[in-house]
Amino acid sequence: MTDTKLTGLALALVLTLAGCGATDTPSTRQVGGAEAHDDHGDHAHEDGDEDHDAHGGEHEGDVVRLDAASAAEAGIVIATAELGRIAETLSLPAELRFDADRVARVAAPVSGLVSRLDKGEGDIVRRGERLALLSSRELAELKADFLTAKSAENLAASNLAREERLFDDKITSEADLDAARAALVSARVAREAVENKLHAVGVSDAVLDSLSDAPDGALANAAILAPIAGTVISRSVSLGSSVEAGGEALFVIVDESRLWADIAIYKADADKIAPGQLVILRTRDGADAARGEIALILPVIDEATRTGTARVIIDNPDSRLRPGQFVTAEIAIGEGGRILHVPSDAVVEVEGRASVFVPVEGGFAPRPVETGSSRGELTEIRQGLTEGDRFVSEGAFTLKAQLEKDAFGDGHAH
């Protein structure tokens, strides 16, 4: 081949390559309305090559173009990877239960008929609020006995006062004065005996003080009052029902503002559990349900399951958690060595690989990482990041969603 022919062929090849480069279509990534075009200039290639060499490479072409202002508006937060200790945890099953100190089973204080119902299942009650009203012959008789005893005591007190005046005037004897004193003591004891019976069935001093002015028929009224504040979860009587004093519970009231979480402890884990350890309770979807610490370890073993029980007392002011609900208890049992870790939400799956987003020129790109254990809200990073690297600590899911949206719109999958 002649030199002239070689020169012509080389020139044609150069022109062909130049034409191909001119037809490349820039890729576009946007978040929160911010849009930029990747013209694959020198800076983009230089940054991408540097990250690729140092960390195994970002996903080539997968860049969410986003300026600083738009990133802040989209909730993107950048942090620096650092070493730290992640507490070692033990995950065990747990069940939420009512606090036994906050459950009231309310029986009838006296025998009678239910004449009125004020509260039913699902009602929220205050302490001392009336649940129902009974019509009780037994109570009417006790109140009548009290009024009789009170009248006898008042009469005895008047007689004693009269005998004291007569004795001072040397009209009556000392024996008569002593007899009057003894009569008052006897009357007082009789009144106190009936009064104590009334207190035992829930009648207050305020009610006793007003008995003499009570309207006709009111002596038979016996109020069933709520001993605690809470929610009525059971009512076993209806209007007109006959009830016996001290019989079965007519109402069950529970205060759900505090619950017990009973954790099943297996024999192999018993030595790792102690009172005071921090506990995170998680629902089935992994959400953080409540936090507390182990209050006590019951000294018995369940014969059926052969497990022990550790109890956590948790606050539940909004009644979001329900007794009978099963949760997972993550118990902090110690601290491991210093490792590189990131928030668990910073790790997302891109193209089937665990990745974190890192800032690159003009936006953010996913970087594959090798993860280790996840404890609490932190995940160990074994490869892909090094101490001091910057990464997206909040907003990774937003970037992933935009990346997938752009990939779909481009007609290909990453």
DSSP string, 319-375: --S-TT-EEEEEEEEEEEEEEEEEEGGG-EEETTEEEEEEEETTEEEEEE-EEEEEE
Query: How far apart (Å, rounded) are the C-alpha atoms in residues 85 and 192?
Result: 68
**Segments making up each domain of the chain, as ranges:** 64-88+338-407, 90-100+257-334, 102-253
Domain 90-100+257-334: CATH superfamily is Efflux pump adaptor protein, beta barrel domain (2.40.30.170)
Ramachandran region, residue 195 (left: φ > 0; alpha: ψ -120 to 50; beta: rest): alpha
Of 255, 383, 363, the residue nearest 317 (C-alpha) = 255
Q: What angle do CA 178, 181, 184 make, to 5 degrees?
A: 155
- Which tokens hold the place of 24? 């490349």
Closest C-alpha to 357, from 99, 25, 2, 55 = 55
Amino acid type, 135: S
For position 376, what pLDDT does the model report?
A: 61
Domain 102-253 classification at class level: mainly beta
Per-residue pLDDT, 403: 86
* pLDDT tens for the 414 residues of the chain, in order: 444 333 333 333 233 333 333 333 333 344 444 443 343 333 333 343 444 443 444 444 588 888 888 888 889 999 999 888 766 778 899 999 999 999 999 999 889 999 999 999 999 999 999 999 999 888 888 888 888 999 998 999 999 999 899 888 888 888 988 999 999 999 999 999 998 988 888 788 888 877 877 776 678 888 899 999 999 999 999 999 999 988 899 999 999 999 999 999 998 888 889 999 889 898 888 788 899 999 999 988 888 888 999 999 999 988 889 999 999 998 887 666 678 889 989 999 998 899 999 999 989 999 999 988 776 678 889 999 999 999 999 999 999 988 888 766 554 444
What pLDDT is recorded for position 37?
Answer: 37
pTM for the full predicted model: 0.55
Residue 407's pLDDT is 64
For 228, phi then psi, to 5°, come to: -140, 165
Fold agreement (64-88+338-407, 102-253) = no
Q: What is the pLDDT of residue 23?
A: 36
Q: Where are the beta strands (DSSP E) in 142-206?
A: none
Strand, coil or helix: what is 147? helix
CB half-sphere exposure, 387, CA atoms < 13 A: 6
Task: Tell me which fold the domain 64-88+338-407 belongs to.
Answer: 2.40.420
Distance CA 62, CA 66 (A): 13
Which of 82, 84, 85, 97 minimizes the C-alpha distance to 332? 85
- Three-state secondary structure call for residue 139: helix
SS3 302: coil
- How many other CB atoms sit within 10 Å of the CB of residue 137? 13
